[in-house]
A and B are shown apart, each in its own frame.
Chain A
Amino acid sequence: MTKERDPKPAKAPLTAREIYGNLLFTGQYVQTWYQVAGVQWPFRPHNERIDWTMGAAAQYAQLTGHRIIERTTTRPYPVRDWAEAFNARTPQPLPLPDGHDWASYLISQQNAMFDVSLAEKEVYLGVRFANRTGAAKLFDTVVKRTTSRERDRVQEGADRITQIISGGSLAARPLTGTHMQWLMHRSIGLGLPGPAGLVDGVTHWLDDDLNTFTDGVWYEDTKLGQTVKVIARRAGQEIVRHVAVLTLGKIGDALLPENGRHEWLRTLDLLPFPVERVSIMDVEPVAQTKKKYGKVLLAIRDQQRHHHVDHGLDVPDDLARKAAHARAIDAELTDGLDAERVRLVGWHRLAVSGATAEECLARVRAVRDLYQNRITVEHPKGQLALLREFIPGEPLALNAYTRRMPVMFYTAGAGCAVAQLGDQVGDRIATTCGTTTRPVMFDPWLNPERHDASGMYPVIGVQGSGKSTLLAKLALQAVRRNIRTVLLDPSVTFAGLARLPWLAPYLRVIDVRRSPAGTLNPYAVVRNPDPGQYDVEQEWRDDWKVAQAERWQLVQDIVGMLIPPEEKNRPETRRAVSLAMRAVPNSPESTLGLLVKALTELPDPQAQIIADVLRDVEDMTTEGPLFFGEPQPTDSLTNSLITVFTLAGLNLPQPGTPRENWTAAQVVAIPVVHLASYLASQTIYGGARNARKLLVLDEMHFLAQWASGKAFFARLARDTRKWNAVVLAAGQNPADALSLAVENLIGGAFIGLIDDEDTAVEALKLLQLPGGMGYEKVLTRLSPVGHRDDYREFLMLDAEKRVEKIRVTFDGDDAELLAAVNTRATGVLR
């Protein structure tokens, strides 16, 4: 087919002649190439963004006299690598029936990842730093290669460049052979799928070797055409992409830091398709800039005089304005910092591609729309020549559309910004939706297993923000991996999992309120640590003491919850309860009945009042016997793979309602949630210490108001490391988890919709973000009202303290899950 069209295709040799390490030799000059470290940008404090911008500007400013080429490309997300890594971390997946089995699940996850743009941005930096000598050029012409002497000579210059840009904001690394291959392939085959089978260990490409990059790639253009066809033959198949090269025209003012809009280069990340960029820029020495603008000022003066004096005409208004601008620049060039003084004279090209010319041109329109009212985007003729500018080593093809800017203006564009989140080995839980659309992988057990960090993850949001659906999704992902999971379900959400027939054999739902008396005995729910599970006796002794203190505090709080607040706050009550507690052994075998008995034996009349109130609770409430009965064996409670402790019928008060207004049923509901949480938490301490476990706790805000609740979470958070457990604790108030965050006891966090800005400030503290930067509004606009019901939005803090907005979607089996647990959709629960 190719031969029919053109039997003798024209040839356009590359300007590059040889690549040695990260050095690229052309016939005239030498470039050195680096990869710039992506800088995490979303939800970053402004002062850190400013520091990065100034730092990068100062580094570029040191490259005066050189031509720099910043080349941004994308690397498709390594879906297959992820699947292999994830599979390796799941040695024994749950044998679910066909269609829901592990293999099907892995395939569906990978397909879902292919469906969205998952390209990861990479920024490469080339510096043209040396010209080749006459002798070197002559030798090259004859022998077709560089000499070691020449390479040694230029290496010194390259080392100087490396020294400037290898640290600080840019943190650039010299390109390895593999990266150089990737860059060459991506640049020559612009818009084509990423090359497969890069060769490791190759660092030297001579003239003929460069054919490796060009073989099988063809360009096809038409006169005055708007796009270039880039064609590749791979595995006998012809792949065609239509590529359009755009160039940036007039650029509007920028702000440092930007607030409310994206930086001018980072804006490109908003596009749902990858955009390639090359910025070819000369770093101009200050003296040269000064001289140039001096001439401009003279030209302005000359025009003013020509109009006014020579011809008696009105001077055009813009001349006076431009003269003032020129004087301001002149002052800046004299007094400013290098980051402000040094100018970049450059050309900024963007390349978009599509499978058809129509798709490509639609993307061109999308780029123009994106930059509307901000930057003029031109689509010049001579597309093939412009397309070649993207190839390392190629010279500038068109010196029109030159942009002149302070180096700080360029770095304020945040072209190196990335939005990374999560790990690369966990399950796919969401996609980022702040700027880019990338999958978020999250394996909560990485923290306790690899980083010796906490496995506690608070999930905060108002009712209806999607906390429960997120928890259910994460729980189901754990179950698929055969991880023992226990869920505490006060709002009767997770009990809906029983509606999934393929999960039912592994699921046990325990209705706590209908369990035998004594199930929620406050003495028994805090178990003493088993010495058999400790290698070091001292460690066991320490934990035993912690358990004693925790039990004491819990019993004290439970009594406080059951008696009226006016009685609880009296000093006599505290003294009586304290004395009675000392009369009862602090052990899992004790009961509240013994405590009541001890109270009645005290001579204090206040003790009698408390004893009477407690007896009333035992006799007159449905839940009473649960607290007062003899301890029940709990080992068998959590022997299913997934256990749901449901609290069906529990009447929890609305958060914020004064306690005086609570009904009797609401008063006992609080200790039920407390004690059921303790009961559920016992799962962590059962089984092998290294086996992964998941504990999901909902309605955390009811616990966090009590000292015992705070101690409970602190203990859980600490124990996640020792017991390889993950705790997902959901609540409505971010302040509840703040003390844990301060003590570095959380491994990450998920914040959903918050309905008022004061609470949002607390939530930002939990995410370790400063307030007053406009992020509060982001939290109050998550999962906006009226959004489709099949996704929920959160801000996620990951183990590396990165924050980004994520969208949790429910596809495949998750759609069934959503239908099973979605309280909003069904409207029957709670």
Chain B
Amino acid sequence: MEQRRLSTDDDLRRISRVWLGPPGKTLPFAARYQAYGVFGVCLLLELMFRVSVLGQPFAISNLIKDGVPAWVITLVVMHFVDHERPIGSIPQMVLNTARAGRTRNPATRTKAVTGTLRIRHNPWRDTR
């Protein structure tokens, strides 16, 4: 009896898309495109916070100052991101963990009920 080998397609999702730098100018590190995106978003949020909340004007020096924490945050976030846990799943993971029992009272109980509390924000929203 001839056996047929079957495989999943997961292999194709495990492609590290890295940006090595502008053509001909290879950077000393290879970061994923996503890391640049995360860094950019963090930097933008920090700048927005500085400008809109703290009321400081936009300046190049601030950009450099904010770059360091943005870089650190990016490192932390990208530590959790891999092919199995894409970046889109990170907020869900954080939310699921955050909604778990409070550390101050580890015996928090959650009862699955319906009835009067039927209209309620549902954190388990479908991802589709």
Q: Which residues of A contact B (CB under 8 A)?
A: 2, 5-6, 9-17, 27-28, 46-47, 67, 141, 144, 188, 207-208, 210-211, 214-215, 217-225, 231, 249-251, 253-257, 259, 282, 293, 296, 299-300, 302-303, 306-307, 309-311, 313, 316, 319, 322, 325-326, 329, 343, 378, 380-386, 388, 391, 394-406, 408-409, 412, 772-773
**Cβ 8 A contact of A15, one of B10, B13, B122:** B122
With contacts A220-B101, A326-B12, A398-B96 taken as known, whether A385 is within 8 angstroms of B117 at the C-beta atoms is no
In the assembled complex, the Cα of A405 lies from the Cα of B6 at a distance in Å of 9
**Cβ 8 A contact of A408, one of B6, B22, B93:** B6
B84 to chain A, nearest CB (A): 5
Residues of A within 8 A of B79 (CB): none
With contacts A217-B112, A306-B20, A311-B20 taken as known, whether A13 is within 8 angstroms of B120 at the C-beta atoms is yes
In the assembled complex, the Cα of A697 lies from the Cα of B113 at a distance in Å of 63
Please tell me if B115 contacts chain A, counting CB pairs below 8 Å: yes
Among the interface residues B100, B107, B111, which one has the most CB atoms of the partner chain A within 10 A? B111
A200 to chain B, nearest CB (A): 23
B-side interface mostly: loop
With contacts A296-B12, A381-B97, A408-B6 taken as known, whether A397 is within 8 angstroms of B106 at the C-beta atoms is no
Residues of B within 8 A of A310 (CB): 20, 22-24
Residue of B nearest to A224 (CB): B97
**Cβ 8 A contact of B106, one of A223, A251, A254, A343:** A223
Residues of B within 8 A of A188 (CB): 112
Q: Chain B 95-117 against A: per-residue CB contact (8 Å), 1 yes, 0 no?
A: 11101111101111111111101
* Segment 69-102 of B: residues with Cβ below 8 Å from A: 84-86, 88-89, 92-93, 95-97, 99-102
The 10 A-B residue pairs with the shortest CB-CB distance, nearest first, are A382-B96, A395-B126, A400-B89, A385-B96, A310-B23, A5-B107, A405-B8, A400-B85, A404-B9, A9-B109
B123 to chain A, nearest CB (A): 8
**Cβ 8 A contact of B84, one of A144, A249, A259:** A249
Please tell me if B53 contacts chain A, counting CB pairs below 8 Å: no
Decide if B101 touches A221 in the complex (CB within 8 Å): yes
Decide if A299 touches B15 in the complex (CB within 8 Å): yes
Decide if A223 touches B127 in the complex (CB within 8 Å): no
Decide if B118 touches A382 in the complex (CB within 8 Å): no
Residue pairs across A and B with CB atoms within 8 Å: the count is: 238
Residue of B nearest to A404 (CB): B9
Question: Beyond the given A223-B100, A384-B110, could you list 17 further A-B residue pairs with CB under 8 A, ordered by the A residue number?
Answer: A2-B109, A9-B110, A12-B113, A16-B114, A210-B114, A214-B114, A219-B109, A219-B111, A220-B110, A293-B12, A384-B100, A385-B95, A395-B122, A395-B126, A397-B92, A399-B86, A409-B6
Instruction: Give 13 pairs: A residue, B residue, CB < 8 Å, sorted on A.
Output: A9-B111, A14-B114, A17-B114, A222-B101, A251-B10, A255-B4, A306-B19, A309-B23, A311-B20, A378-B84, A384-B99, A399-B127, A404-B13
Decide if B84 touches A400 in the complex (CB within 8 Å): yes
In the assembled complex, the Cα of A281 lies from the Cα of B101 at a distance in Å of 29
Please tell me if B61 contacts chain A, counting CB pairs below 8 Å: no
**Cβ 8 A contact of B113, one of A211, A255, A396:** A211
Decide if B3 touches A255 in the complex (CB within 8 Å): yes
Decide if B105 touches A6 in the complex (CB within 8 Å): yes
With contacts A46-B1, A214-B114, A303-B18 taken as known, whether A404 is within 8 angstroms of B6 at the C-beta atoms is no
Decide if B17 touches A325 in the complex (CB within 8 Å): no
With contacts A313-B20, A382-B100 taken as known, whether A256 is within 8 angstroms of B11 at the C-beta atoms is no
